[in-house]
Amino acid sequence: MSTDFELFKGKSLSSLFEDIYNNQIQKKAKISELINELKKMIKHAGDVAVIGPIIKDLIETSVKNDDQLVKLATIAQRIIAGEKKTEGQEGYLSAEEKAQLLAEIDSIQQEVSKVDDLQFEIDEIKDKIN
């Protein structure tokens, strides 16, 4: 399987794998940094009740976003494998499987949009806290 397969203009499968890895490293650092900042702001138990769910949502969002990238990579791998086979060979993508893949891509796009909205809300809350 070629990792040079172009998913869309300017993005190959190998660059998607690199993005997945880099996102994981960057998010880990950002989440740790945010948690350390928020720890300094906690003065009493009520603060924990407000800040705790923010941290939980941030971590869940990070995991969901990475899951969506991994799903996209899986779809790309299936497309690549399907292109190498001819009709009648085992593993060839049927019209139904192609439709499922396209539906899954749409689902991923919607999920990523939700993640972006949540990130915006988190940024607003951080601004209010500061």
Per-domain residue ranges of the chain: 10-129
Higher pLDDT, 1 or 103: 103
pTM of the model: 0.47
pLDDT of amino acid 123: 76
| pLDDT, average across residues 113-117 | 71
Q: Which amino acid would we find at residue 113?
A: S
Residue-wise pLDDT tens digits, 40-86: 878 888 888 888 887 788 778 777 777 777 787 787 777 777 766 65
Task: Outline where DSSP puts E strands in 34-117.
Answer: none
Question: Can you tell me whether residue 43 is helix, strand or coil?
Answer: coil
19-42: per-residue pLDDT in tens? 778 877 888 888 888 888 878 878
Q: Where are any strands of DSSP class E within 1-130?
A: 6-8, 11-12
